[in-house]
């Protein structure tokens, strides 16, 4: 115990020496990629080609403790966000869902529950995640909770170049995933491509608080506490440091809405949950 505490102290010391004075300037940046082929990985700058690999490592590391960490960090509220997300979607008969970055199945299982409770016909979900470790966790949970295996398919794939035909789904969801991709615009245009006319794009993602005092409080919590919790509970500091930094790098609600519109979606709206801690964006291919 004392050994691990000592280790924790060391890590905290190392990481706190990197002050985040550059926070305000960072928040002004709206585009994800800079001119010279570099992109953000948290507050670090990395080569575009490297980001994918680095993100992969992050989620490879956190896959097993993903759930327990989500619960601790958000005090369980992430479940409410996801429930509300599914309620807003309100699937109907013949819904073909593509859940991108949905490895552990949080959204897909809610979808399957909804279908079962409403007794909907002819529905199917495809989970697509770039990371096989996350998919493994999802598959394991799927069999543990006895979900109908015929209604779900699991597929490893990159959100920037989906291996699906045009117009093959009518709902595309991406929950807490889009901030980890290298090119948001490519993901959005792929989403537009695979959706059929009338299909709905829905995204749940950490965002920016409306109130600056609360944002400050939230920043303190994120930067001071979350990596510590990560170290204590999951034994990993870096992935959780990346998590909070990547949230700050993500475009604001309005900017992200513009990006969705640029991809061709119409009737684009967003809704802030918990004062903007999380934003739910929605758009239609018409």
Give whichever of 138 and 199 is closer to another protein, judged by the CB atom. 199
Q: Does 220 bind another protein (CB under 8 A)?
A: no
Q: Is 121 in the site for another protein (CB under 8 A)?
A: no
Segment near another protein (CB under 8 A), from 65-73, 148-156, 179-187, 264-272?
A: 264-272
C-alpha–C-alpha distance, residues 162 and 133, integer Å: 19
For 212, other C-beta atoms within 10 Å of its C-beta total 9
User: Applying CB under 8 A, which of residues 14, 34, 196, 220 lies at the interface with another protein?
Assistant: 196
Q: Which residues contact 117 (CB under 8 A, 6 or more apart)?
A: none
Q: What's the CA gap between 139 and 154, in Å, rounded?
A: 8
Sign of CA dihedral 264, 265, 271, 276: negative
Is residue 129 marked as binding?
yes
Residue among 143, 209, 129 at smallest CA distance from 175: 129
Read off φ and ψ for residue 251, nearest 5 degrees: -55, 155
Q: Euclidean distance between the first and final Cα of the chain, in Å?
A: 58
Does 282 bind another protein (CB under 8 A)? Our answer is yes
- Residue 272 is assigned to a ligand binding site: no
- Kindly state the smallest distance separating residue 155's Cβ from another protein, in Å: 21
Longest dimension (CA), the chain: 60
Cβ(130)–Cβ(160) under 8 Å?
A: no
Count of residues that interact with another protein, criterion CB under 8 A: 22
With contacts defined by CB under 8 A, name the span among 105-113, 128-136, 195-203, 228-236 that binds another protein.
195-203
The nearer residue to another protein, 113 or 219, going by C-beta atoms, is 113
**By the rule CB under 8 A, 167 interacts with another protein:** no
> According to the annotation, is 106 in a ligand binding site?
no
Among 4, 7, 31, 92, binds another protein (CB under 8 A): 92
Q: Show Cβ contacts of residue 216 under 8 Å, excluding neighbours closer than 6 positions.
A: none
Given the complex with another protein, which of 118 and 153 has the nearer CB atom? Answer: 118
The mark string for 62-91 relative to another protein (x by CB under 8 A, - otherwise) is: --------------------------xxxx
**Which range touches another protein (CB under 8 A), out of 47-55, 192-200, 240-248, 250-258?**
192-200
Non-local CB neighbours of 181 within 8 Å, separated by 6+ positions: 55, 159, 160, 187
- Selected binder of another protein within 7, 94, 153, 255 (CB under 8 A): 94
Cα gap 100→173, rounded to integer Å:
6
Instruction: Point out which residues bind another protein (CB under 8 A).
Output: 88-96, 170-171, 196-200, 266-267, 269, 282, 284, 286
Per the annotation, binding residues for S-adenosyl-L-methionine are 104, 129, 158-159
């Amino acid at each position: 115990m004392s050994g691990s505490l000592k280790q924790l102290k060391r890590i905290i010391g190392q990481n706190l020496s990197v002050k985040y004075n550059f926070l305000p300037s960072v928040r002004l940046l709206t585009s994800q990629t800079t001119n010279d082929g570099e992109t953000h990985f948290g507050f670090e700058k990395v080569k575009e080609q490297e980001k994918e690999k680095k993100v992969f490592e992050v989620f490879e590391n956190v896959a097993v403790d993903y759930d327990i960490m989500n619960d601790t960090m958000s005090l369980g509220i992430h479940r409410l966000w996801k429930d509300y997300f599914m309620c807003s979607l309100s699937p109907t008969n013949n819904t073909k869902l593509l859940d991108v970055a949905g490895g552990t199945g949080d959204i897909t299982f809610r979808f399957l529950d909804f279908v079962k409770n409403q007794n909907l016909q002819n529905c199917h979900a495809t989970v697509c995640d770039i990371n096989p470790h996350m998919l493994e966790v999802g598959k394991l949970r799927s069999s543990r909770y006895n979900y109908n295996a015929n209604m779900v398919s699991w597929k490893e794939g990159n959100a920037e170049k989906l291996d699906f035909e045009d117009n093959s789904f009518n709902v595309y969801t991406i929950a807490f995933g889009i901030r980890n991709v290298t090119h948001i615009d490519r993901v959005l245009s792929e989403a537009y491509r695979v959706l059929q006319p009338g299909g709905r794009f829905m995204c749940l993602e950490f965002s920016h608080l409306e109130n600056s005092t609360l944002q400050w409080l939230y920043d303190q919590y994120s930067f001071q506490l979350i990596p510590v919790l990560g170290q204590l509970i999951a034994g990993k500091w870096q992935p959780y440091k990346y998590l909070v930094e990547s949230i700050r790098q993500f475009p604001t609600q309005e900017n992200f809405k513009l990006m969705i519109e640029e991809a061709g979606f119409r009737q684009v709206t967003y809704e802030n949950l918990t004062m903007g801690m999380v934003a739910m964006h929605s758009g239609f291919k018409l």
